[in-house]
């Protein structure tokens, strides 16, 4: 019973961590995209 609880909790932590990583990754992607768009507009 305890092993199942531990593995379940680990999975929940893993998924929440993955979600946080995805969120930060997407935010960084958007920031870099905005910078690149500004550079492209500046060149034109």
Would residue 3 count as lying in a domain? no
Residues 23-37: tens digit of each pLDDT: 899 999 999 999 999
Instruction: Give the per-residue pLDDT at 3.
Output: 61
Would residue 36 count as lying in a domain? yes
Would residue 33 count as lying in a domain? yes
**Euclidean distance between CA atoms 24 and 43, whole angstroms:** 29
Instruction: Give the per-residue pLDDT at 21.
Output: 86
Instruction: Give the per-residue pLDDT at 2.
Output: 59
> Which residue's entry shows tokens 């995209």?
33
Number of folded domains in the chain? 1
Instruction: Give the per-residue pLDDT at 43.
Output: 79
State the pTM of this model.
0.51
| Three-class secondary structure assignment of 1-44 | CHHHHHHHHHHHHHHHHHHHHHHHHHHHHHHHHHHHHHHHHHHC
Would residue 34 count as lying in a domain? yes
Domain that holds residue 38: 8-42
Determine what percent of the chain is predicted with pLDDT higher than 70.
66
């Amino acid at each position: 019973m305890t092993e199942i609880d531990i593995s379940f909790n680990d999975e929940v932590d893993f998924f929440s961590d993955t979600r946080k990583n995805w969120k930060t990754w997407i935010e960084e992607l958007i920031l870099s995209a905005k910078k690149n768009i500004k550079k492209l507009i500046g060149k034109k």
